Amino acid sequence: MKGTIMKCHYAAAALAGILLTLTGCSDAPDNRAADAKAIRDIETQWKSEYAAKELDKVGAHYADDAVLMTQGSPAASTAEARKELLKGMLADPAFALSFEATSVEVAKSGELAASHGTYTMTMTDPVTKKPVNDHGNYVTVYRKQTGTWKAVSDINVSDVPAHPAATAKKAPAKKAAAKKKKK
């Protein structure tokens, strides 16, 4: 009987050891809901900074290696290029931007996330000098860096069709310029 009790103690100790080992090797807790909320909160703050036209604060949401892509501009893939693009946007007296995430997805690893949603924007048309309203969709990919979410890819796509009349007016001017060069 004493041997049976000892075997039970050994078995219990072994089982406890296995359970502790398995518990210690389990994945980190699933913080995706908290991370998604953090990103929504960041985007709320970001909208306020755009509204206040705070260039440095708006730019601080981007990682050093981030890419910002907007309609009608080349991709801004350096800190200097992003700052110049944002500076031009925020200097426009008609500039206004609002965006709202319809979805925020966080990777199980907790290292990457993406938000996508809709935006509305008003800017001054460089040709007509009149305010133009735009709306469309965006995707922002985030990476967690030292505990803080930073945008690494920020892309918007307009739902507003290009103005064919403006394109058609430019075409004859280009042809005329080409003819002059040939002469």
- Give a yes or no: residue 44 inside a domain: yes
- Give a yes or no: residue 17 inside a domain: no
Please tell me which of 7-11, 95-99, 164-168 the model is most confident about, judged by mean pLDDT.
95-99
Domain containing residue 93: CATH number: 3.10.450.50
- Give a yes or no: residue 97 inside a domain: yes
* Cβ neighbour number for residue 124 with a 10 Å cutoff: 15
Q: Average pLDDT, stretch 40-45? A: 98
pLDDT interval class at 70 (50, 70, 90): very high
Burial level of 76, CB count in 10 A (0-12/13-18/19+)? buried
**Digit-coded pLDDT (tens) for 104-160:** 999 999 999 999 999 999 999 989 999 999 999 999 999 999 999 999 999 999 999
Separation CA 141–CA 151 (nearest Å): 6
**pTM score of the predicted model:** 0.74
Structural domains of the chain, count: 1
- Give a yes or no: residue 82 inside a domain: yes
- Give a yes or no: residue 16 inside a domain: no
| pLDDT value, residue 173 | 52
| pLDDT value, residue 167 | 47
- Give a yes or no: residue 74 inside a domain: yes
Cα 171 to Cα 115, 145, 164, 166, 181, distances in angstroms: 38, 47, 11, 9, 16
| pLDDT value, residue 21 | 41
pLDDT interval class at 71 (50, 70, 90): confident
Domain limits for position 59: 32-161
- Give a yes or no: residue 110 inside a domain: yes
Percent of the chain scored above 90 by pLDDT? 69
Rounded to 5°, angle at Cα 47 from 46 and 49: 65
pLDDT interval class at 16 (50, 70, 90): very low
pLDDT interval class at 177 (50, 70, 90): low
- Give a yes or no: residue 180 inside a domain: no
